[in-house]
Amino acid sequence: MFKRISVLLILAVAILGCSKDDDNSRGDSRRKYVSKIILEQNDRSMTMMIDYNNKMQITGYSSPNTLIRFEYENDRVVAIKEEINNDDSYKLYYTGGILSDIYYYSESYPVIYDAANRTYMLDGSGLEFGLDGRDISFFKSANSFQESFTYDTGKKGPLHDLGGEDIFPVTLFVNSMYYYLSAVPIKTITVDESGNKKTYVAENVYDNQGYLIETTQSSDGEVFFKINYEYKVK
């Protein structure tokens, strides 16, 4: 129930065109939007493209085998569609600008929002999540599984320049994209499975404007994943 959309990332042959110490001569008024992520995990390298509309809102994630699309109304995500299967996997509804209901394959999950703590609970699913700024602070499922996040404040994550206060629909509901895409770079990820906790610590690399260009998440020498980021400048 309430499974996440699977994003099939393909084998990447691209290499970042800039070094870790990329010296970009653009002016401060221009913005950077992540256009590609290259993920290395379990001895495999995979890539995914990120698409935008003319408002620079994320409209989808694409690879040769998978195409995820986001539909907007009033600058809010209202539908998430897996186009290869032609499914509207999620439909999102808002009341007073706050997420109030989610339809997952036509099944309704009313959303209970706690404004004081900035948490959302999906009634009937056992799922709960919270926000830290514009990013996910925790995600909890009904089977005693929880993920918690801390962030490297003062630096710029791949979604730093993405407009809007509520950006979580483009990360939370798509195959753990909140591990890879955030407005502020992730510093730690703690995974708690029935009381068994493991914390992954990020080694982050930034360009000379403070944007994240590489992250490696590891725990006790065990690498969880490594990602390189490429940006477009607008």
pLDDT for position 63:
78
Query: pLDDT (tens digit, 9 = 90+) per residue, 22-56?
Result: 444 334 578 999 999 999 999 888 899 999 999 99
pLDDT for position 86:
60
pLDDT for position 15:
29
pLDDT for position 58:
98
pLDDT for position 83:
74
172: nearest Cα among 44, 50, 2? 2
Query: pLDDT (tens digit, 9 = 90+) per residue, 150-175?
Result: 999 999 999 999 999 899 999 998 87
Backbone angles phi, psi at 169, to 5 degrees: -60, -25
pLDDT for position 22:
43
pLDDT for position 87:
63
Q: What is the rounded (10 degree) CA torsion for 221, 227, 228, 233? A: -140
Task: Give the residues of the chain that fall short of pLDDT 70.
Answer: 1-28, 64, 84-88
Please state the separation of Cα 81 from the chain's center in Å: 16
pLDDT for position 28:
58
